[in-house]
Structure 1
Amino acid sequence: MVSLRLTPEDHQRVSTAIAAAEAGSDGEILTIVSGESDAYHDVALHWAVAAMILVLAFAAWQTAFLASLWDRLFGDWGEHATPGQLLFFVMILAVAKFLAVLLILKWRPLRLALTPGATKTRRVRRRAIALFRAAAERRTVGRTGVLIYLSLAEHRAEIVADEAVAKVTTPECWGDAMAELVAEIRAARPGEGLVLAVEEVGEVLARHFPKTGGDSNEIPDKLIEL
């Protein structure tokens, strides 16, 4: 997976694009970029539990093999493993596998690679909504704020709109903006993607909330990087 990063030039270009987009609309555009939307520690735990269950399943399937292994490792004077000893052996193997997988998945790139795509999408969406509520929801007089959120580690983006905008738009309205952003993310050009997304969102806002004389700039025209 390609590592994404934003340069100072990207910040300036996005800020300029926001100012230009808002010049034709009463809407307000907020852009936030996060390194990642979640640590996914629970995913590592799930894989570790799955590995432990596999050990137990293998033990149930190959009991004779494990008994033979015990005898080779710990057998003395031809004595065979008792049921209690064999159960203890299986428990040790299962716990060892659990801890080994958990330790290996402390490496963030592998943990992220083993996280299902649907899980990443849900976490990015949840993070976008949380940030929108904290930074933009109901912070404009006309409830016309729109957040463009990009999560770099997951290579995913979300657009979240305030009350007035949501009433007159559908998720499909942001299709072009998302398509432009996703295409540039895949090409490892997140800054360019954000600029194009801002322009597309600006066009949607201009159609539904054209510029009026009384509008003021209620949200700073800058890219926020967390």
Structure 2
Amino acid sequence: MKDPVNTFLTTEAQQQIEEHIRDAEKITSGEIVVKVVSSSDGYAKACLLGGFIVSLLLAISAMLIIGSRDMWMFLGVFAALFVAMHELIRQSFALKRLFVSSAEKKIKVEEAAISAFYRRGIDRTVDHTGVLVYISIFEHRVRVVADKGINEKVEQEVWQEIVDMIVRGVHEQSQAEALCRAVDRCGAILASHFPRKQGDRNELADSIIFGRAAGR
């Protein structure tokens, strides 16, 4: 299956968003980073659970159809189906979603976003004014992670506007336009608290970061 992160944004859209990032950072000392991933976790347990349930139902149905009660035959059919169904669910976002709860998706996105924030060094800007806009396609979730310098002045609830803007844009299949607006809004929020100062330099790359699907 093609990794959806490869089709989330066109090359032209990427360039447009990156230009908006550069423009936003001209008015603030803050740093804006955008990361897009296909999935925040491989959800191995969901693949196992889904493979087991689907294979069990199919194996029982097959035995009923052929009219056999042979346990060894049943186990053989079940094992073959489990291998196939487990791989199918692992590769299919649509099927995998059936076996992943909303609560689990929320937790995994939260963990992955915070991990990316530190792994990418967004916490190491001079004034601790870095912001990560993290988008996870499988979970249909967006998380904004701000450094401590920003959190001292901007409440987390303020970033919900950014989250809602991007989620709505993705649902409307206008993610490029939504991300441009979101970046502009991030810049305005940051500029109101952290206006650009003389001698400010660009501490983090403006390029969008793309990540492959976890566990695939």
Q: Which has the larger radius of gyration?
A: 1
Instruction: State the TM-score, normalizing by the size of structure 2.
Output: 0.78
User: CA contact under 8 A between 2:130 and 2:146: conserved in structure 1?
Assistant: yes
- 2:205 paired with 1:220: yes
Q: 1:152 to 1:54 in 2, by over 3 A?
A: closer
Task: State the partner residue of 1:102.
Answer: 86
User: Per-residue deviation at 1:169?
Assistant: 1.9
- 2:175 paired with 1:172: no
Distance 2:174 2:206 in 1: 20
Tell me the amino acid that sits aligned with residue 219 of structure 1. Answer: L
Q: Which runs of 5+ in 2 are unaligned?
A: 212-216
Task: State the partner residue of 1:92.
Answer: 75
Tell me the amino acid that sits aligned with residue 28 of structure 2. Answer: S
Q: Describe the SS at the equivalent of 2:125.
A: coil
Q: Which runs of 5+ in 1 are unaligned?
A: 59-65, 75-85
User: CA contact under 8 A between 2:55 and 2:85: conserved in structure 1?
Assistant: no
User: CA contact under 8 A between 1:43 and 1:111: conserved in structure 2?
Assistant: no
User: CA contact under 8 A between 1:144 and 1:161: conserved in structure 2?
Assistant: yes
Higher mean C-alpha deviation, range 88-97 or range 183-192? 88-97
Task: State the partner residue of 2:13.
Answer: 10
Distance 1:91 1:209 in 2: 66
Which of 171, 175, 178 is 1:190 aligned to? Answer: 175
Instruction: State the TM-score, normalizing by the size of structure 1.
Output: 0.74
Task: State the partner residue of 1:41.
Answer: 44
Q: Describe the SS at the equivalent of 2:41.
A: coil
Q: Pairwise CA RMSD of aligned residues?
A: 2.9
Q: Deviations over 1:140-189 (max 9, x none)?
A: 10010000111223322111111111222222111221121111110112
Q: Would you say how many aligned residue pairs link Structure 1 and Structure 2?
A: 199
User: CA contact under 8 A between 1:44 and 1:111: conserved in structure 2?
Assistant: no
Distance 1:212 1:33 in 2: 30
Q: 1:89 to 1:34 in 2, by over 3 A?
A: same
